[in-house]
């Protein structure tokens, strides 16, 4: 169908003045869907610098009407819940009549989605990205949250995790629903191959650099072992400072490896770093998708990843190697294999693969089809 709908993106995460990069993958989903439909964003976030109890901002960002409520930070749970509900109703008054709800993150914003379905007859689908459903973390989800999440999922027209592995993790928690996997968006107009390379062989890792998930310490130990086999190489860690890793760095006492820690950077700067690298490494203990890995492939950069996230579900043997979690010896061997690889990797083929599966137009079409199916089901 070519009908243009007005979709309310109900977002538990979204970039804001408090967290400029939080939920940027949801923003990319919204911008993709905006190619076909009108989008309005509703997001609420606590802000310790809030000038009033509730502060509302409404602005157009990248063609999307973005409505964010900032609420004064409080440790009083009842007051916080009250403020969130007040902010929610204030934001609804700002938003023009809409046809459909696209919920991002089941809990707790799914409670608002239930309200809209029960009292305004607005059907909804759910996009889910949360790593908290992983079995290593799901024990922290309390009983009440599980019950509410199952109810929200059951009421949704479609439940759209970003990968099959996330779908399986959610099902293992008895979260039942009409599952339809829709992956994250990769901007293939920006992440393109380049012939520009660093002077040294350069390996890159991009993340929040949280050791519990990303295993930065394990990669640093591999860097030390790699010094025995490769002269003058660079390993870049992008997304945070090296302060908490300085004791380990001092202990490892690198001699020839050049280690760079770079704080969070813009997408445009990230593209340059990816394009000029020889290899991307993800050594995570768990992932739901792993956007930057696919962005690297889109730039024509081969990837080594643990068997987590979306790459674990793809057959990309020429330019993607999957290794066991926490296996430092295997990571070392695969880096050496890629370093010594004589075969020329087809960068354009890599980019074309990503464009075929993850570009904005593809994701927009997938969501649009689900919107119309849901509206038909509920008409």
Architecture of domain 201-357: 3-Layer(aba) Sandwich (3.40)
The pLDDT of residue 319: 87
237: nearest Cα among 221, 257, 261, 212: 261
Residue 8 per-residue DSSP state: E
What class has domain 6-184+359-377? alpha beta
CATH 3.40.50.2000 domain residues, the chain:
6-184+359-377, 201-357
Q: pTM of the entire structure?
A: 0.92
Residues in contact with 250: Cβ distance below 8 Å, sequence separation at least 6, in sequence order = none
- In whole angstroms, give the CA distance from residue 191 to residue 186: 8
The pLDDT of residue 247: 97
- In whole angstroms, give the CA distance from residue 309 to residue 307: 7
For residue 108, whether the previous peptide bond is cis, meaning omega lies within 30 degrees of 0, is yes
- Where helices occur in 233-359 by DSSP H, the ranges are 246-252, 267-275, 291-298, 328-339, 347-358
| pLDDT averaged over 10-residue windows placed end to end, the chain, 379 residues | 90 95 94 97 96 96 97 94 97 97 97 98 96 82 94 98 94 96 96 90 96 97 96 95 96 96 91 96 94 96 92 80 96 96 86 95 97 79
The pLDDT of residue 1: 60
Radius of gyration of the chain (CA): 22
Other CB atoms closer than 10 Å to residue 118's CB: what's the count? Answer: 10
What CA dihedral angle connects 159, 164, 169 and 172, to 10 degrees? 80
The pLDDT of residue 379: 42
Helix and strand numbers, DSSP H then E, in the chain: 13, 13
């Amino acid at each position: 169908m070519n009908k243009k709908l007005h979709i309310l993106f109900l977002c538990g995460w979204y970039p804001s003045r408090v967290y400029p990069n939080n939920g940027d993958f949801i923003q990319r989903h919204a911008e993709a869907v905006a190619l076909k439909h009108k989008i309005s964003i509703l997001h609420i976030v606590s802000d310790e610098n809030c000038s009033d109890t509730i502060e509302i901002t409404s602005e157009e960002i990248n063609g999307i009407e973005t409505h964010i409520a900032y609420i004064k930070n409080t440790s009083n749970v009842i007051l916080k819940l009250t403020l969130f509900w007040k902010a929610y109703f204030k934001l609804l008054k700002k938003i023009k009549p809409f046809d459909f709800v696209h919920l991002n993150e089941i809990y707790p914003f799914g409670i608002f989605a239930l309200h809209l379905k029960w009292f305004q007859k607005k059907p909804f689908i759910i996009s889910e990205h949360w790593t908290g459903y992983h079995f290593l973390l799901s024990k922290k989800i309390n009983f009440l949250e599980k019950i509410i999440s199952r109810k929200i999922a059951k009421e949704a027209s479609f439940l759209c995790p970003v990968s099959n592995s996330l779908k399986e993790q959610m099902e293992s928690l008895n979260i039942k629903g009409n599952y339809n996997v829709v992956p994250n968006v990769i901007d293939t107009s920006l992440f393109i191959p380049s012939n520009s390379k660093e002077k040294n062989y350069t390996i890159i890792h991009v993340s929040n650099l949280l050791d519990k998930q990303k295993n930065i310490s394990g990669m640093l130990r591999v860097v030390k072992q790699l010094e025995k086999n490769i002269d003058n190489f660079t390993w870049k860690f992008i997304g945070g400072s090296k302060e908490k890793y300085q004791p380990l760095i001092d202990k490892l006492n690198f001699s020839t490896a050049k280690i760079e820690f770079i704080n969070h950077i813009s997408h445009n700067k990230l593209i340059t770093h990816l394009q000029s690298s020889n290899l991307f490494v993800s050594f995570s203990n768990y992932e739901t998708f792993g956007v930057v890995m696919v962005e690297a492939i889109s730039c024509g950069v081969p990837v080594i990843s643990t068997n987590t996230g979306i790459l674990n579900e793809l057959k990309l043997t020429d330019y993607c190697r999957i290794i066991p979690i926490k296996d430092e010896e295997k990571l070392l061997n695969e880096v050496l294999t890629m370093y010594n690889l004589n075969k020329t990797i087809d960068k354009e083929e890599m980019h074309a693969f990503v464009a075929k599966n993850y570009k904005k137009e593809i994701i927009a079409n997938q969501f649009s089809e689900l919107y119309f199916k849901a509206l038909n089901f509920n008409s």
